[in-house]
Chain A
């Protein structure tokens, strides 16, 4: 779709970044966004609004009876978006069933397994012989939807975020923000930030603008950082308001405009995602993946839990590491001979 996705243009790009930029443009970007939250928080509407597309054309929402039977599912939808010559292969991973059951204990083990599986797969591919076409399906960012109705985080919110904050970049989002007055919104944001602090939850931190960036960009970064968590409203309906057509929600008492920064933080969330896609991928690679990898290798054993078995012929095994358990004296010997 030819949507207006990348709207913030940078006036000047430092040369090195420019070269990287040009190479990425040719190759295209891959980005995986996971979306987690209870039913009915407007997740699908928001995703469709963000990417100006309908990722869920044949969607059927199950009734309460079906929900009782269900466990958490993982559903990935991939869409290719091209804009101004830049190709983005976006995968959105949904987690229907999260938080629906009466007993939500362990409702997210499926989600954690999925994240780990992508790391595992990448580790396997990275360790393989032919590494030219490694597909990166690792989850680069997780939007966690918080209900605007409560007084802050729920016990499940805390438990889940703590379980994944060392595996993926967590971006908390206050859903359906048009439920709140401005004062209620500010109070809720402060409450959530306090509780995130209190429970030691590590959410994704926007890096400060570098000193060589222009003032506008620096100011934008400051505003973004100050608005977290973003309180958003999504919609794909065009409403007539003040003589023009806007994307919004029509109520008897007025129209909530999705792209009006005075009404909600939708534009901020979109800007944050677009201008930090690269950084989100980097942090996933340099922090979350490396943590996974070093944990995995320290634990030792072969990468065979999912059927990915590395050949152990000495001709192949790279000298920097061995996957035999460290207690194996053979392994130690090979390592030392290096």
Chain B
């Protein structure tokens, strides 16, 4: 966004822009290099200084390896279970929302990672409306951000606690989605980026995995569930091409592990069984590496952008319209006189 304000004419060559200013000096050639692309370095340095935030929510029944997967993704003990001294494996009677934050640094880049856990989800005998506390939490974060935004004296940097991405863990039944999965994803995909994964995928043969994925994609389609990356938010043809490839592969079938084993002379993260060792980062074994690349290496910024420019904005519009309606109703102005808020 910063860049577009600086360019005063469209690019005429792929490498360098030619600006329609009169030549700086009569002797200089037709191509003038001003050095605008130095902005990229300035942005990089600012990002390094500031660091950035990433908030990931994990949702799924107890025992689907959520904590282990988080630890595997960030190669450190970031899950709530790893941090708490008492490993509470008892299923809570109601759904709890528990956040835990970590400062992670790699090559001078600092990230504040917040993992939001939802123990109790789907574990009860009666799971009706179990998505409500989660929906409320997500909306509460939007609300908190909105309140900061509409303040007269605003903070320089509004702390961002909005949920950027919600990883939904599907049990590896190999059949199809369960009613609970459909209900949850249908509702939550409207307010947050949902990344569905097939949990503990080492229980499926490759054949079973492909069948299951196809079935899941069919059911997502027939229920109108848009998971990340959503088709309607593809920005251009290049985006669409990359994202289509991802859409053909999801949900990723993942296996997590925080234990290393010796395999062919290398130390690898894996699971050791009597019939072989499952290598977590080996794409012939499971799709963990694809998930990691998506969430961290290629689409992290995009996930945050969609959250702030689409999900959050939708929330904001709804909220401001609600307030407007309330105000005008109090003042006796009929609704159709309201001007629509542009977004």
Which A residues fall within an 8 A CB radius of B? 38-41, 61-65, 67-68, 100-105, 147-152, 154-156, 159, 176, 178-179, 181-182, 249-257, 262-263
Contact = CB atoms under 8 A, between A and B. Distances in A.
A251 B202 contact: yes
Interface of B: 61-64, 89, 91, 123-128, 130, 171-183, 199-200, 202-203, 205-206, 215, 219, 222-223, 271-279, 284-285
Contact of A182 (B89, B206, B273, B276): B273
A178 B123 contact: no
A123 to B, nearest CB: 32
A197 to B, nearest CB: 16
Contacts of A68: 179, 182
B126 A103 contact: yes
Contacts of A155: 91, 123-125
B20 to A, nearest CB: 58
A178 B204 CA distance: 9
B88 to A, nearest CB: 10
A104 B279 contact: no
A266 to B, nearest CB: 14
A263 B276 CA distance: 11
Given A64-B219, A181-B271, A104 B126 contact: yes
Contacts of B91: 154-155
A161 to B, nearest CB: 13
A256 B127 CA distance: 35
3 tightest A-B CB contacts, nearest first: A40-B173, A254-B276, A253-B276
Given A102-B179, A255-B276, 11 more contacts: A40-B174, A65-B182, A102-B126, A103-B125, A104-B126, A149-B199, A151-B62, A155-B124, A251-B206, A253-B279, A263-B275
Given A102-B128, A149-B171, A64 B178 contact: yes
A149 B62 CA distance: 8
B272 A181 contact: yes
A103 B63 CA distance: 20
Contacts of A41: 173
A155 B64 CA distance: 16
A252 B285 contact: yes
A64 to B, nearest CB: 4
Contact of B178 (A67, A182, A249, A252): A67
B125 A253 contact: no
26 contacts: A40-B173, A40-B174, A64-B219, A65-B219, A65-B223, A103-B128, A104-B125, A105-B125, A149-B64, A149-B171, A149-B199, A150-B61, A178-B202, A178-B273, A179-B202, A182-B273, A251-B206, A251-B275, A251-B278, A252-B285, A253-B273, A254-B273, A255-B275, A256-B275, A262-B274, A263-B274
